[in-house]
């Protein structure tokens, strides 16, 4: 499978009470995939401002490839507060740079050589970036892996957006809170979360559905098998970016040809480790980084 893996969508600063941390689910995903030796790219947009320059400098320091356009809109920020369990709550600024990602000739050329992309609903809340996402997916090779990391935030989604994104994908990543929202939107109120995932798998002809449930473990559903893994018990610093690292580790293992159960096990271990660290992009231990090189 093609070695180029793209995280397409929002890039921003997660602003905590005492610090700011580079974030955005697609960028987190791209960074963690790159740690496993893949050619990871963050594709997004920033503003012509200090925060935008700091993002580009941070990505360069992390040795992550990027295709990030500079726009006339301000660089995105999210105010993050953590509850007693370390679970983040987000206040997401609107009409920012990543709402206005342009689809350029460079973007199209990257799409044509991309084997795997991860995208979500948040970056599609504005028409400009939504069109860029759709054009990127359309330009990718026919046998590419397209992951819809649904990533529902606040009110920035609709049934239409979710339906269209699922039709453009062959893998879905969803958490237990998002399953409840999707089941309501799609009239599956009487189904339990596993049944909802299996219906989505079947109705949209997906290859894989990943369901994460925080401390209650996670499931991976395919047309032929179901894998469950319990969540390792660790001392949690914060959970920001844990789901993105889960997806990245699973995809890295899956692309390497590992079994679903083995890819799932690695994903749980990596996401648990990220929970012990502050911020969404910690460096992984060398034992993980050297697995697929």
Number of CB atoms found within 10 A of residue 220's CB? 24
Q: Using only the alpha carbons of the chain, give its radius of gyration.
A: 17
The two tokens of residue 70 are 């500079």
pLDDT in the model for residue 45? 98
pLDDT in the model for residue 238? 80
Distance CA 282, CA 97 (A): 25
Q: What is the pLDDT of residues 244-280, one digit of tens each?
A: 999 999 999 999 999 999 999 999 999 999 999 988 8
Nearest CA to 173 out of 224, 221, 111 is that of 221
Q: What is the DSSP string of 86-151?
A: S-EEEEE--S-GGGG----HHHHHHHHT-SEEEE-SGGGSSHHHHHHHHHHHHHS-TT-EEEEE--
pLDDT band (50, 70, 90) for residue 225: very high
SS3 of 155, please?
A: coil
Name the burial class of residue 82, with classes exposed (0-12), middle (13-18) and buried (19+) by CB atoms within 10 angstroms of its CB. Answer: middle
* 238-to-32, 82, 276, 280 alpha-carbon distances in Å: 17, 8, 7, 9
Distance CA 115, CA 38 (A): 11
Q: What is the pLDDT of residues 163-212, one digit of tens each?
A: 999 999 999 999 999 999 999 999 987 779 999 999 999 999 999 999 99
pLDDT higher than threshold 80 for residue 86 = no
pLDDT band (50, 70, 90) for residue 90: confident
pLDDT higher than threshold 70 for residue 63 = yes
Could you tell me the residue ranges of all domains in the chain? Answer: 4-289
pLDDT band (50, 70, 90) for residue 82: confident
pLDDT in the model for residue 152? 92
pLDDT band (50, 70, 90) for residue 1: low
13-27, 110-124, 126-140, range with the lowest pLDDT: 13-27
Does domain 4-289 bear CATH number 2.40.128.20? Answer: no
pLDDT in the model for residue 213? 94
Task: Read off the pLDDT of each residue in 119-124 and give the average, rounded to a whole number.
Answer: 97
């Amino acid at each position: 499978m093609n070695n180029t893996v793209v995280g397409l969508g929002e890039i921003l600063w997660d602003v905590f009470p005492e610090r700011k941390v580079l974030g955005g689910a697609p960028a987190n995903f791209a960074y963690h995939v790159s740690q496993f030796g893949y050619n990871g790219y963050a594709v997004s947009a920033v503003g012509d401002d200090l925060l935008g320059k700091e993002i580009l400098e941070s990505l360069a320091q992390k040795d992550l490839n990027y295709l990030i356009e500079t726009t006339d809109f301000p660089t995105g920020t999210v105010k993050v507060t953590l509850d007693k369990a370390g679970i983040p709550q987000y206040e997401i600024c609107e009409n920012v740079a990543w709402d206005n990602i342009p689809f350029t000739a460079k973007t199209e050329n990257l799409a044509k050589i991309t084997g795997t992309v991860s995208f979500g609903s948040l970056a599609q809340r504005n028409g400009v970036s939504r069109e860029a996402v759709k054009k990127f997916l359309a330009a990718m090779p026919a046998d590419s892996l397209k992951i819809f990391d649904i990533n529902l935030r606040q009110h920035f989604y609709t049934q239409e957006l979710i339906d269209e994104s699922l039709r453009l994908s062959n893998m879905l990543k969803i958490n237990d809170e998002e399953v409840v929202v999707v089941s309501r939107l799609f009239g599956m109120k009487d189904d339990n979360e596993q049944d909802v995932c299996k219906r989505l798998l079947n109705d949209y002809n997906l290859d894989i559905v990943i369901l994460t449930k925080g401390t209650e473990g996670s499931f991976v559903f395919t047309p032929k098998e179901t894998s469950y893994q319990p969540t390792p018990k660790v001392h949690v610093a914060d959970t920001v970016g844990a789901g993105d690292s889960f997806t990245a580790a699973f995809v890295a293992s899956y692309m390497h040809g590992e079994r679903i159960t083995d890819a799932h096990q690695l994903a749980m271990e990596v996401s648990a480790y990220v929970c012990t660290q502050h911020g969404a992009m910690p460096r992984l231990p060398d034992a993980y980084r050297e697995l697929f090189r």
